[in-house]
Amino acid sequence: MPDIEQSDPGPSTPLRTIGVVGAGVMGVGVAQNLAQTGHRVVLLDLSDHVLAAARAEIERNLRFHGFFTKQKGGPPPAEVLERITFTTGYAPFADADFVVENATEKVAVKQGIYPVLDEVCPPHACFAANTSCISITRIGGWTRRPDRVLGMHFMNPVPLKPVVETIRGFYTSQGTIDTALRFLGQMGKEGIVVNDLPGFVSNRVLMLTINEAIWEVMDGVASAEDIDRIFVTCFGHKMGPIATGDLIGLDTILYSLEVLYDSYNDPKFRPCPLLRKMVDAGLHGRKTGRGFFDYGVPAAGASAAA
Ligand code: NAD
């Protein structure tokens, strides 16, 4: 058992400045939601190019997609954007009260990030991993504060989804869970607390469903359109599994299945070869403009659970 300092963050811990790691589909949504609800945000990614695209996307969402802001009469776009500091360096994380990590769903990528956060962030800061499938207990082990590490599986698009799957790792303290729920409340969201096993509740089921639907396309059982139509019209789902995969990002689906496959050593999680081929071809879904369906231009998601 690691030497863990068991002091809970406590109800008086301020949650004003929030570090957000990763400015892709989810990082952009989390940063926007946080800035819209009055937080100061430090948004970090690897390059200025990615950060410029993130800034442009947030600006577009605020100006043109009223449904993304949800808050009629909320702060003007310029004021929201002004609250976000875009950075490729960790120095501003020295002021972070709480961190949400949204980097690529690969163990090696996330493993490189947490020791740096641990070094730079103040001792009171909790780290929330917005991971689809990676064990929170494993992530906590990459820090010297596993009691302050938890999972926050946000849904996509973040500003529109009111509930967050909140994951308690083996060492996550009750104080950290309480702080996380308070943090989500500040964002206008509610957390449902679940225990830690890879994929948690949602993605242990959802990734299998999407993968199996892709096997059906590959096996010629039906077209992607017809598979989705069956889920939408027969089951009343808002969106079929193939369109949901396109919305999440087919690369993220592939990486999540690889994590589940490795974590459980269970062949039921083996990624469909067609999924891998699509990812190799750069067809990652909405974010690249094309996946199983054609979106013309890279676009933020409409509305679906993910
Ligand atoms: P994405 O590919 O759109 O974005 C990932 C971002 O991480 C990229 O901008 C990339 O440049 C950045 N990145 C990579 N390595 C980094 C590093 N070392 N430091 C900082 N940034 C780095 O992926 P996404 O869909 O935003 O997913 C991010 C996380 O959220 C993943 O863990 C994913 O499983 C999870 N998630 C995704 C969804 C979804 O619907 N897409 C939903 C819930 C959770």
* pLDDT digits 0-9 by tens, 25-46: 999 999 999 999 999 999 999 9
Mean pLDDT on 140-160: 97
Determine how β-strand 98-101 pairs with β-strand 84-87.
unpaired
- 34 and 110 inside one domain: yes
pLDDT surpassing 90 at residue 98: yes
Q: Is 22 in the pocket of ligand 1 (CB under 6 A)?
A: yes
Closest residue CA from atom 18 of ligand 1:
109
Closest residue CA from atom 31 of ligand 1:
105
> Is 296 inside any structural domain?
no
Tokens read off for 118: 């641990």
The C-alpha atoms of residue 270 and residue 254 are separated, in whole angstroms, by 9
- 95 and 179 inside one domain: yes
The pLDDT score that the predictor gives to residue 8 is 58
> Is 36 inside any structural domain?
yes
- 27 and 127 inside one domain: yes
Catalytic site positions = 132, 153, 165, 203
> Is 10 inside any structural domain?
no
Q: Is 27 in the pocket of ligand 1 (CB under 6 A)?
A: yes
The pLDDT score that the predictor gives to residue 10 is 66
The pLDDT score that the predictor gives to residue 75 is 80
Contact assessment for residue 76 and residue 53, using Cβ atoms and an 8 Å cutoff: no
The C-alpha atoms of residue 198 and residue 260 are separated, in whole angstroms, by 6
Closest residue CA from atom 16 of ligand 1:
103
Closest residue CA from atom 1 of ligand 1:
24
Taking phi over 0 as left and psi of -120 to 50 as alpha, with beta for the rest, 161 belongs to: beta
Mean of all residue pLDDT scores within the chain:
93
- 213 and 136 inside one domain: no
Which ligand 1 atom sits nearest the alpha carbon of residue 132? 34
Range of 27's domain? 17-195
Say which CATH number the domain at 276 has: 1.10.1040.10
Residue carrying the six token digits 């069956």: 230
Say which CATH number the domain at 163 has: 3.40.50.720
List pLDDT tens digits, range 247-284. 999 999 999 999 999 999 999 999 999 999 999 999 99
The pLDDT score that the predictor gives to residue 13 is 75
The C-alpha atoms of residue 34 and residue 17 are separated, in whole angstroms, by 10
The pLDDT score that the predictor gives to residue 221 is 98
Q: Is 102 in the pocket of ligand 1 (CB under 6 A)?
A: yes
The pLDDT score that the predictor gives to residue 305 is 36
The pLDDT score that the predictor gives to residue 304 is 39
- 50 and 187 inside one domain: yes
The C-alpha atoms of residue 93 and residue 87 are separated, in whole angstroms, by 10
User: Exposed e or buried b for every residue in 251-279, given b needs 16+ CB within 10 A?
Assistant: bbbbbbbbbbbebeeeeebebbebbeebb
- 218 and 125 inside one domain: no
For the entire predicted model, the pTM comes to 0.92
Q: Is 26 in the pocket of ligand 1 (CB under 6 A)?
A: yes
Mean pLDDT on 109-124: 98
Which ligand 1 atom sits nearest the alpha carbon of residue 133? 34
- 41 and 177 inside one domain: yes
> Is 11 inside any structural domain?
no
- 98 and 188 inside one domain: yes
How many structural domains is the chain composed of? 2
Mean pLDDT on 154-178: 97
- 58 and 185 inside one domain: yes
